[in-house]
Amino acid sequence: MMEKTWRWFGKKDKITLPMLRQIGVEGIVTALHDVPNGEIWTTEAISDLKSYIESYGLRWSVVESLPVCEAIKYGGTEREQLIENYKVSLANLGKCGVKTVCYNFMPVIDWIRTDLQHPWADGTSSLYYDRIRFAYFDIRILGREGAEKDYTEEELHKVNELDKVITETEKEALIDTIIVKTQGFVNGNIKEGDKNPVAIFKRLLALYKDIDRETLRENMHYFLTAIMPVCEEYDINMCVHPDDPPFQVLGLPRIVTNEKDIEWFLNAVDNPHNGLTFCAGSLSAGEHNDTRELAKKFAKRTHFVHLRSTASIAGGNFIESSHLAGRGHIIDLIRIFEKENPGLPMRVDHGRMMLGDEDKGYNPGYSFHGRMLALAQVEGMMAVVDDEMQRQMEL
């Protein structure tokens, strides 16, 4: 059966390891969050955290993440040194027995939402993406040159209408949600307390002024080619996280958005250690993706699974749904992965904020009770799938 893991943000996380052990978690997904991006992870620091996790009867299953610095993505002058540092960190992880590394290759901005606590009728809340509010941030707050070209006439009209009623408090909330809270809680480019985050963000965007999809692909190929010998030596599986959401934003190239993109990077560096983090939530946020078909095609090159789901809403919006609903098709995914690549580490993610979760999460949008419920649901699904497979083998 899939290994039940949980993303844990270190010793400062309000959700403690004893709590996780009690609810049936087997493996921990974490990182050395105190180490600045680009610096080497030492064997001493890795061993210390690994021993701490193991002292609670758990294991460090997946690194999420060993960050890929912006200069590696856009090909800056410091790229070579940063890649060398990355290789040393990978080797040190391998020496310590931590063998799976989830990372992303998204320029500047990681996951994007416009509301971290969108209310549901039952009193729970979840993450939400409102395309018009995001367009407002892009055009009116960020003032990105040429932004209007990325939106339809109808969308531009709605942005203008929103401008008549939006408050300064709502504008500040958009800035805080899009480029501070979702990016800065761990290893982000912008942190809580930074003065004028919009100016910082615009400087980061400027680094990619001349970087298109093909250039970003070339830089990803360069990075993967450089690190694969270390991955082979220490049997480390790299697994890239899909872009979230899986479409172009803010004039930035996004290169892990669909079947063709995944096919490209797997073939570009055709090594079993070069693989995918199958995030059902990120992929399902794009209506062009069918998570079931993608899982069938790429299960063998998947090293880590995020079981979460989103639901599409008219107008290009989407919401984090319950784990048994939405376009993630999690029950079907469990069947596919248990058949094609059994034993993968998986973690339930996000879901609904409920029962006072807002006081327990280290990061906005990461529930405790909501994920605990989902873990129980997924565990039940895995047991059913395991029984189905046993019966089929006996026939």
Rg (CA), the chain: 20
Q: Which of 304, 282, 381, 299 is nearest to 336 (CA)?
A: 299
Domain 1-106+207-392 - what CATH class?
alpha beta
50 vs 182 pLDDT, higher one:
50
Taking only the tens place, the pLDDT of each residue in 196-215 is: 889 999 999 999 999 999 99
Looking at residue 371, what is its pLDDT?
Answer: 83
Average pLDDT along the chain: 92
DSSP state of 242: P
Q: Which residues are catalytic?
A: 241, 279, 306, 349-350, 366
Helix-helix angle 79-95:213-234, to 10 degrees: 30
The whole-number average pLDDT for the span 129-145 is 97
Looking at residue 360, what is its pLDDT?
Answer: 63
CA atoms within 13 A on the CB side of 96: 25
Looking at residue 186, what is its pLDDT?
Answer: 60
Other beta carbons within 10 angstroms of residue 211's beta carbon come to 17
Rounded to whole angstroms, how far apart are CA atoms 207 and 227? 24
Q: Are 250 and 211 contacting, i.e. CB atoms less than 8 angstroms apart?
A: no
Whether pTM exceeds 0.75: yes
Domain ranges of the chain: 1-106+207-392, 113-205
Looking at residue 194, what is its pLDDT?
Answer: 67
Question: H-helix or E-strand containing 176?
Answer: helix 168-176
Question: H-helix or E-strand containing 345?
Answer: strand 345-348
Answer positive or negative: Cα dihedral of 170, 173, 174, 175: positive
Task: Give the highest mean pLDDT range of 9-23, 52-66, 187-201.
Answer: 52-66
Taking only the tens place, the pLDDT of each residue in 341-375 is: 999 999 988 878 788 776 665 566 677 888 888 88
Q: Which of 47-51, 126-130, 149-153, 190-194 has the lowest mean pLDDT?
A: 190-194
CA angle, corner 372, sides to 369 and 375, nearest 5? 155
Taking only the tens place, the pLDDT of each residue in 292-313 is: 999 999 999 999 999 999 998 8
Quote the tokens at residue 353: 């904020």
Q: Which residues contact 279 (CB under 8 A, 6 or more apart)?
A: 241, 242, 244, 305, 306, 308, 349
Taking only the tens place, the pLDDT of each residue in 276-286 is: 999 999 999 99
Q: Are 339 and 369 contacting, i.e. CB atoms less than 8 angstroms apart?
A: no
Question: H-helix or E-strand containing 340?
Answer: helix 330-340
Quote the tokens at residue 42: 């030492």
DSSP state of 186: S
Other beta carbons within 10 angstroms of residue 301's beta carbon come to 21
Q: Which of 42-51, 74-83, 182-191, 244-253 has the lowest mean pLDDT?
A: 182-191
Q: Dihedral, CA atoms, 68, 192, 52, 368, nearest 10 degrees? A: -100
